[in-house]
Structure 1
């Protein structure tokens, strides 16, 4: 045991702090139903940015509850998929939902499903009563990411905040059905990731997280990605020294990030991230545009 790691807060205290962070009132009055699930996912998606500052600086992000709270809830930071969806899963469990951890193969830019390993974390969520299950995900970090959960049904389009999604089932040789999340973009329906519904455990993600944070073939170990969704179909992205803002998929603003001061200012003002002390362009190995 790491003696320097703070003890986790009681579940009720953790939940209240998380809900305040994403701009929702306390848990009183929040039923474990589809409406609450959608509200929490939407609020989380807008409040907590996607960022991989720690991995690109050589640090493996911790998935321990107290460390997630210290960083994402109280520390003014974001994180990548394992951090976001672990925190989200804890909150949903505290609210009374059933949560299954899933792994997915990211298909953006891939022609063959089997060419990508299972590196993405997503959730299958079941309300204690009513409809379900739902695919829920607050950690994808792209313009094709979900804003609200999707019922696990095939070939049904769902729209939220100028984003359109559907799930399709495709034949494969495994024992479990293979699902693909698709988002509608400039090229029509575009594959985002593929998954099956067999459950994974938290310990499984310890190794996956370490690999993605340290493997030199992982983009998250050497290239800074910062993303934030905002209401009204707005999406901001920072990569390769350039800030890009889109609205409903159309580019409305770009800016080069050429200095250390500009990097810290953009993280703060555009993404709501409190930059680590002394952060520089060299720290995140980002090439100015």
Structure 2
């Protein structure tokens, strides 16, 4: 892995807040935290176009500003989103601890999954409970707003339902699990589905540099092998998974269709997800 040279360019809070369309308060309080979290998700798409093209995206703040903020028609995956969001929170006066989580959707055993996801623990002045924040989890079960670190309590975050529970205790640190409520429609009862598991051990930028390199360039990584892009859209959530488009509306209705060719994949990326494709990148279809 090449040595990383970190930029000294200061984080531009005004540019970031303009990118996500936030013109509300700039105070380190719970309302601002919830507001900018949701605004970020509505404005910046999740996508893995760089890893799909064989490149590990830079986590340098100057590069993230150029790509996700000033670029406007690009997004990124968890390390990019949450590195940028953490910088914004710290500029606003929040204290942020960076965490590493195991994505456990569909896993039989949590320990079978590596720590490959970045999440954030945010201290809100005046609130004794830290909040779990995460603008980079590329799944329909992702948080739309931060939730307090409180076990066995259901939270309704901008229409989605989440809770935190304790996972199997296998070491000196307590394990937390984020669960999302999955509505299976009129013919089947819904249920809670584990999304990712984490402890409160702090991780550093150097840790994410290594994880990012592995996830982006390992030929066995799903992010280096298949197209994955999503964003919040009016009245729902839009996912492009390879050559399949899945739209989940706020009322629970799910529609899915297969795209005919690469030209149609490019059209969905551009017109529906607001993303520009890097030059020379071949897409499925």
Greater mean deviation of Cα atoms: 29-38 or 256-265: 256-265
Could you say which residue in structure 1 is the equivalent of 2:10?
10
Could you say which residue in structure 1 is the equivalent of 2:132?
135
Whole-angstrom CA distance in 2 between matches of 1:81 and 1:25: 25
* Aligned: 1:225 with 2:222: no
Instruction: Give the conservation status (yes or no) of the 8 Å contact 1:108–1:193.
Output: yes
Whole-angstrom CA distance in 1 between matches of 2:63 and 2:275: 17
Residue 189 of structure 1, aligned match among 187, 192, 206:
192
Residue ranges of structure 1 left out of the alignment (5+ in a row) = none
Residues 25-72 of structure 1 show CA distances to partners (whole Å, capped at 9, x for unaligned) of 27xx31101110000110011111110011011011000011101111
Residues 201-239 of structure 1 show CA distances to partners (whole Å, capped at 9, x for unaligned) of 11111100000011122111111111112353x011111
- Structure 1 residues 168 and 150, CA, compared in 2 at 3 Å: closer, same or farther? same
Residue ranges of structure 2 left out of the alignment (5+ in a row) = 185-189
Residues 222-278 of structure 1 show CA distances to partners (whole Å, capped at 9, x for unaligned) of 11111112353x011111311111113734443433333322221121111122235
TM alignment of 1:104-253, pairs within 5 A: 104-185=101-182, 186=184, 187-232=190-235, 234-248=236-250, 250-253=252-255
* Aligned: 1:62 with 2:83: no
Whole-angstrom CA distance in 1 between matches of 2:263 and 2:280: 10
Could you say which residue in structure 2 is the equivalent of 1:82?
79
Instruction: Give the conservation status (yes or no) of the 8 Å contact 1:161–1:231.
Output: no
Whole-angstrom CA distance in 1 between matches of 2:54 and 2:70: 22
Whole-angstrom CA distance in 1 between matches of 2:282 and 2:221: 21
The count of aligned residue pairs is: 275
- TM-score, scaled relative to structure 2: 0.91
